[in-house]
Structure 1
Amino acid sequence: AILQGIAHQTSLTVENLRLLEARQEEAYVTAALLQVAQAVVSTRELSEVLENIVHLLPILVGIDVCLIYRWDEDLQIFRPTNVHGENRRQEFFLLDNIYLPGEHRLLDAVFERGQAHICPMAEVGLPAEDWPMLPCMPLEEYLQSAHQAEGDWLLGFPLIAQDQILGVLVVRERNQSTAFRERRLEILNGIAQQTSLAIQNDLYRRELLQNERVEQEIQLARQIQETFLPDHIPSVPGWEIGIRWQTARQVGGDFYDVFELKDGRVGLVVADVSDKGLAAALYMTVARTLIRASVRDHADPTEVLDEVNTLLFTESPESMFITAIYAVLNPQTGELVYANAGHNLPFLYRAATGQVEQLSKGGMAMGVLPELPIENHRLFMQPGDCLLLYTDGACDTLSPTGEDFGEARLRAVVHNTGGKPADELLSEIDRAISAFRQNTPLSDDITLVAVRRTA
Structure 2
Amino acid sequence: MASSPLGAQDSPVPRPVLPTPSSVGPGILNLLPVEERLELVTETMRELSRQTDPQSMARVYLRHLRQLLPNDGLVAVSRRDLPSPHYRVTRSSRWREEVDPWLHREKLPVVTGGILGELLYGNEPRIIEDLQVPANDPGYEHLNGFRSMAAIPMYDQGRALVLVALLSKNPKGFDPEKLPDLVLTGNLYGRASHNLILARQLEQSVQELDFELRRMEKVQASMLPTRLPSLPYLGLERHHQTARRAGGDYYDFFPYPDGTLGILMADVSGSGASATSLMAIVHTLAHTCPAECTAPGAFLAYLNRHLSDRCNSALDTFVTAFYGVFQPVTRTLRFAMAGHPPPRLLLAGQEAWRRRVLDMSDGLPLGLDRQERYGESQVVLNPGDMVVLYTDGVNDLESPDGKPFGVNGLDLALATTNPQTEKPMEKVVRALRHHAGARQIRDDLTLVLLRCK
- TM-score category, normalised to shorter length: 0.5 to 0.7
Change (3 A) 1:218 1:433: same
1:377 and 1:81 mapped to 2: Cα distance?
72
1:190 and 1:65 mapped to 2: Cα distance?
10
Picking from 342, 346, 361, the partner of 2:339 is 342
Give yes or no for contact 1:224–1:282 (8 Å, CA) kept in 2: no
Q: Indicate the residue corresponding to 1:43 in structure 2.
A: 101
Residue 55 of structure 1, CA deviation: 3.1
Change (3 A) 1:437 1:181: same
Residue 322 of structure 1, CA deviation: 1.0
- Higher relative helix content: 1
Q: Indicate the residue corresponding to 2:180 in structure 1.
A: 185
Aligned pairs for 1:218-367 (under 5 A) are: 218-294=213-289, 296-316=291-311, 317-352=314-349, 354-360=353-359, 362-367=362-367
Which amino acid letter does the alignment assign opposite residue 224 of structure 1?
Answer: V
Change (3 A) 1:190 1:209: same
Change (3 A) 1:33 1:452: farther
Matching of residue 400 in structure 1 with residue 400 in structure 2: yes
Change (3 A) 1:41 1:439: farther
Deviations 1:187-230 (A, max 9, x none): 11121111111211122012212211221222122111111112
Aligned pairs for 1:72-91 (under 5 A) are: 80=159, 82=161
Matching of residue 21 in structure 1 with residue 29 in structure 2: no
Give yes or no for contact 1:399–1:438 (8 Å, CA) kept in 2: yes
Give yes or no for contact 1:252–1:276 (8 Å, CA) kept in 2: yes
Residue 18 of structure 1, CA deviation: 9.7
1:402 and 1:32 mapped to 2: Cα distance?
64
Q: Indicate the residue corresponding to 1:88 in structure 2.
A: none
2:258 and 2:411 mapped to 1: Cα distance?
33
Which amino acid letter does the alignment assign opposite residue 334 of structure 2?
Answer: V
Picking from 138, 155, 168, the partner of 1:68 is 155
2:423 and 2:127 mapped to 1: Cα distance?
76
TM-score, normalization by structure 2: 0.66
Change (3 A) 1:31 1:216: farther
Gaps of 5+ in 1: 1-13, 71-78, 85-176
Residue 35 of structure 1, CA deviation: 5.8
Deviations 1:27-51 (A, max 9, x none): 57254997669859831179999x9
Q: Indicate the residue corresponding to 1:409 in structure 2.
A: 409
2:191 and 2:73 mapped to 1: Cα distance?
14
Matching of residue 55 in structure 1 with residue 120 in structure 2: yes
Which amino acid letter does the alignment assign opposite residue 436 of structure 2?
Answer: R
Change (3 A) 1:27 1:301: closer
Deviations 1:297-320 (A, max 9, x none): 323110111011111111003412
Change (3 A) 1:21 1:439: closer
1:438 and 1:251 mapped to 2: Cα distance?
22
Residue 21 of structure 1, CA deviation: 3.1
User: What percentage of aligned pairs have identical amino acids?
Assistant: 25
Change (3 A) 1:241 1:393: same
Change (3 A) 1:287 1:195: same
Change (3 A) 1:416 1:239: same
Change (3 A) 1:391 1:27: closer
Change (3 A) 1:55 1:377: same
Give yes or no for contact 1:33–1:190 (8 Å, CA) kept in 2: no
Secondary structure of 1:328 counterpart: strand
Q: Indicate the residue corresponding to 1:372 in structure 2.
A: 372
Give yes or no for contact 1:243–1:450 (8 Å, CA) kept in 2: yes
RMSD over aligned Cα, in angstroms? Answer: 3.8
Secondary structure of 2:287 counterpart: helix
Give yes or no for contact 2:400–2:439 (8 Å, CA) kept in 1: yes
2:427 and 2:74 mapped to 1: Cα distance?
65
Give yes or no for contact 1:301–1:376 (8 Å, CA) kept in 2: yes
Give yes or no for contact 1:291–1:305 (8 Å, CA) kept in 2: no
1:196 and 1:358 mapped to 2: Cα distance?
61
Give yes or no for contact 2:338–2:363 (8 Å, CA) kept in 1: yes
Give yes or no for contact 2:27–2:70 (8 Å, CA) kept in 1: no
Change (3 A) 1:214 1:399: farther
